[in-house]
Chain A
Amino acid sequence: MNVTLSINGRDHALDIDPRTSLLDACRDHLGLTGSKKGCDHGQCGACTMLVNGRRINACLTLAVMHENDAITTVEGLGTAENLHPMQASFVEHDGYQCGYCTPGQVVSAVGMLGEIGDGWPSHVTKDIKTGTEISGDEIRERMSGNLCRCSAYPNIVDAISAAAGKTKEPA
């Protein structure tokens, strides 16, 4: 089945099995292996991508559903030579260990800050009328879909908090 995916600002024409997830399309067919597969069931967040600016578990959606969507993967945030401020903050704060959940944490963090910026409340938001602010509790609540078995959580929260002031919107 033919589909054109717009990923990180570039169009990719694919002829793929309709059962192919967006995650596998990237990993197995486009060489975009930055997004990770940890569970294939939407339980771990390692595959988090931004679709039209919103976080999505790429293992839970089929690639053919995303014609005309703007998809951002970790590769679209920054490169090893030119890191996105969120990526640089993860390095500075040791917000990772094995690195496998890290692309998902980074992409999720960027999306999550966007959600706070748009005034989306969470379970821990004290007063939904006055909007939300970036706090440790908000970050922990909103990042709980991204598991880290190495358990770098304290440093991830530090990395996100530090980056929050200087993060630019994703490409």
Chain B
Amino acid sequence: MNKHVMDEAIGETRLDRGTQGVIGKGAPRYEGKLKVSGTAPYAYEYLAGEDVAYGFIVPASIAKGTIRSVDATKAEAVPGVLTVISGDRIVRAASQPMAPAAQTIDGEVFHYNQPVAVVIADRFETARHAAKLVKVDYDAKEGRFDIAARTTVREPASMPMEPNQTRGDFESAFAKAEIQYDQTFTTPSYQAAAMEPHATTAKWDGERLTVWTSHQLLETAPGQLSKHTGVDADKITVHSPYIGGGFGSKLGLGPDAVMACLGTIATGKPVKIALTRQNVFQATSRRGETVQRVRIGVTKAGKITCFAHETDTTNSPGNGFFEPSGISSVFLYPGEDRIVSHNIVETDVLMASACRAPGEATGMLATEGALDEIAEQLGLDPVEFRRMNEPEVNPQTDTPFSSRRLIDCIEEGARRFGWSDRPKTPGSRREGEWLIGMGMASASRKNDLMESSAEIEMSPDGRATVRTGMTDIGTGTYTILQQIAAEMLGLPLDMVDVELGDSRFAPSSGSGGSWGANSAGSSVYVASLALIRELASRIDADAETLTLKDGHAISGNRQIPFADILKGEAISVTGKIEPGKQAEETHQASYGAHFCEVAVNVVTGETRIRRLLTVGAAGRILNEKTATSQCYGGQIWGIGYALEEDLVIDKRNGLIVNHDLAEYHVPVHADVPQLDVVLLEDRDPHASPLAGKGIGELAIAGVGAAITNAIYNACGVRIRDYPATLDKILAELPDDYLTAA
């Protein structure tokens, strides 16, 4: 195995030389033609034409209690029903990412609409009908549904970050601060709501279990399914070549996967289960709601002296994962004395887990709003206030930043956006019924490099095929791996194929935490170098100086086609990347800045986004087109979080009330104007051999606050209780705006 450990900063590489000229370019997606023609197969669509059965989940009708009995007599009497599976093997929800297994129900109900049984039938329509005939009796108990009640408060696990990080004596420093900012922000629960509901096709042939499922992280899947089914992990193959969106919700294995496997083993027929949209909302995972207290001590001159960000968030019994709202607060702004802390308020609601940019997506709604409020109080421009408070090292640990382009992003954004034209005071710019305002916010997203590996096989004709257990959830993995291999090996793009999403391939980081491109991409880089060494040795050339272009090796005055070097033989090499000392010796994050112009209607309180610009710096951009698309996604999620999204939990009975796409409002075409994204030319030699950093989650970090800051600048209403729906704005709008209309 060819391995690179990220212990040292990377120097110049073949990617910098750009001999083939494909890295970074906006190449169209490798799998694009399959997607637009409807021929890219997603999990549910396998085994078309085969004799398959269908599963449908029976959900619990209480939020907490004990299952007294499950009577499936009527359901089993329906012609076409093959079996009804109930009992302790049924799972509560998805598994937590990288957990040994999903939580089983063990005779209990842990949340409203938790699965209690699954009906397997020869037709989907029959399974759906029969599921309604399953009678479940419960002993209902009193549940806990309200974060504010703080009925049970406990310490989170140390995933996804160390929950409590303090430095110095914040309380004393804050007491002495010339200006004391102290406000509490709340964010609701959210649903990832990927367009493809979690779905699985599972086939048991008496010995082997073959599973097609929509899953971001294949490495742990065979082991998890082994625990649920008793089948040895080495007899389980999991495929996820196409995934209809994940956003963290498919980092854990879905309940559909477990139940489809139980179903196929029980019936001997392949079983398909696609969760209903209601199941997705009620039986996979969600982002936990938060209550965030932000306290910042500042001098009258505008220097931040101390910083505290304390978060309450929720999760269900047995779950230590928490929404790490303080993740950016650890390093983004200065202050000698600091607190970043998190508590879990235990509730009897669907488990909370990873959702796009865990932490930044909620935490920066609070802190970037706080910065705007303080700047206003000091009479400082928010851009200037951030410039004045740019730390030189990580303020928590004194570790140097690997690269930090925050101020560059802010200044570039301010210039491009025309920030100097911002209305000086709220309510001062008006067009008919609309008040116009501008707001900005910083963005940062912690960067991680994960262990990952990939195989490259070069066939005798000189074509290369990259194979890795990595996934592409719409992020562009197929394409960037193709580009990296093509650039490294000197091949035109159409001479490189990429195969992903198969648990038999070289183990990979999977897609999550914005680490996929950097980690999987680095493994392709390492494998490419090994392949180059092999080619060089066969022609007695120096691998370092060998030039590779258009399928030829060029050494001195020799120009040899790869096919002539290979002489009819295929070569296969595997490369692996591992994180190393650089992760400890430097603090790594991507940075950015958002600038937004909104119009707020004085009659209805409606907010419309007029312009939204994000400037980002995330090291080397591997594909300008797909990276920009990722940023659009983040910006638009930010629009959703600022203005619309609110997963409502009924505090009386724990029901997730708006459990579908009609009632849980995600942004639609009409909510989104044409957006602007600018990616700065950047390299981070400490982050990976690619000198790149994560980008998939950067653009959601802080963007909602840029919008609510713009709302304040437009109409003078501060939103600290997200989302900024019209009722909240209307209630605070001064009457004279209306009378002036």
Which residues from chain A sit less than 8 Å from chain B, CB to CB? 17, 19-20, 24, 27-28, 31, 33-41, 43-44, 46, 73-75, 77-81, 83, 87-88, 90-92, 94, 96-103, 106, 136, 139-141, 143-157
11 A-B pairs besides A91-B32, A154-B632 with CB distance below 8 A are: A20-B123, A27-B45, A36-B244, A38-B244, A39-B277, A75-B39, A91-B36, A106-B36, A141-B670, A149-B245, A150-B474
Interface centre among B39, B126, B670 (most CB of A within 10 A): B670
Asked whether A37 and B37 contact (CB < 8 A) given A98-B244, A143-B669, the answer is no
Question: Which residue from chain B places its CB closest to the CB of A106 in the assembled complex?
Answer: B36
Interface centre among A31, A87, A100, A143 (most CB of B within 10 A): A100
Interface centre among B247, B473, B661 (most CB of A within 10 A): B661
On chain B, the residues within 8 Å of A155 by CB distance are: 629, 632
Interface centre among A17, A38, A88 (most CB of B within 10 A): A38
Jot down 11 A-B pairs with beta carbons below 8 A, ordered by A.
Answer: A33-B45, A36-B42, A41-B661, A44-B661, A74-B36, A94-B629, A99-B35, A141-B669, A147-B195, A148-B195, A153-B669
On chain A, the residues within 8 Å of B42 by CB distance are: 33, 36, 100
On chain B, the residues within 8 Å of A75 by CB distance are: 37-39
Asked whether A98 and B195 contact (CB < 8 A) given A91-B28, A152-B629, A156-B669, the answer is yes
CB neighbors of A among B109-127 (8 A): 123-126
CB neighbors of A among B18-43 (8 A): 26, 28-29, 31-42
A150 touching B245 by the CB < 8 A rule? yes
User: In the complex, A91 Cα to B34 Cα: how many Å?
Assistant: 10
User: In the complex, A157 Cα to B197 Cα: how many Å?
Assistant: 25
Shortest CB-to-CB span from B263 to chain A, Å, is 16
On chain B, the residues within 8 Å of A39 by CB distance are: 197, 277, 660-661
Q: Does B460 touch A at the CB level, under 8 Å?
A: no
CB neighbors of A among B232-283 (8 A): 242-247, 274, 276-277
B interface secondary structure, majority? loop
CB neighbors of A among B654-688 (8 A): 660-662, 666-670, 672, 674-675
Shortest CB-to-CB span from B215 to chain A, Å, is 13
B660 touching A87 by the CB < 8 A rule? no
Question: Which residue from chain A places its CB closest to the CB of B475 in the assembled complex?
Answer: A97
On chain B, the residues within 8 Å of A77 by CB distance are: 37
A91 touching B33 by the CB < 8 A rule? yes
Shortest CB-to-CB span from B676 to chain A, Å, is 9
Asked whether A40 and B277 contact (CB < 8 A) given A31-B49, A97-B474, the answer is yes
| Residue of B31, B40, B41, B125 touching A19 (CB-CB under 8 A) | B125
B31 touching A99 by the CB < 8 A rule? yes
User: In the complex, A22 Cα to B15 Cα: how many Å?
Assistant: 50
Q: Does B461 touch A at the CB level, under 8 Å?
A: no
Shortest CB-to-CB span from B337 to chain A, Å, is 39
A98 touching B196 by the CB < 8 A rule? yes
Question: Which residue from chain A places its CB closest to the CB of B38 in the assembled complex?
Answer: A34
B40 touching A99 by the CB < 8 A rule? yes
On chain A, the residues within 8 Å of B672 by CB distance are: 140, 151, 153-154
| Residue of A35, A97, A146 touching B629 (CB-CB under 8 A) | A97
Asked whether A153 and B244 contact (CB < 8 A) given A74-B38, A75-B37, A144-B669, the answer is no
Q: Does B290 touch A at the CB level, under 8 Å?
A: no
On chain A, the residues within 8 Å of B28 by CB distance are: 91-92, 94
User: In the complex, A24 Cα to B434 Cα: how many Å?
Assistant: 46
On chain A, the residues within 8 Å of B150 by CB distance are: none
User: In the complex, A27 Cα to B43 Cα: how many Å?
Assistant: 12
Question: Which residue from chain A places its CB closest to the CB of B126 in the assembled complex?
Answer: A17
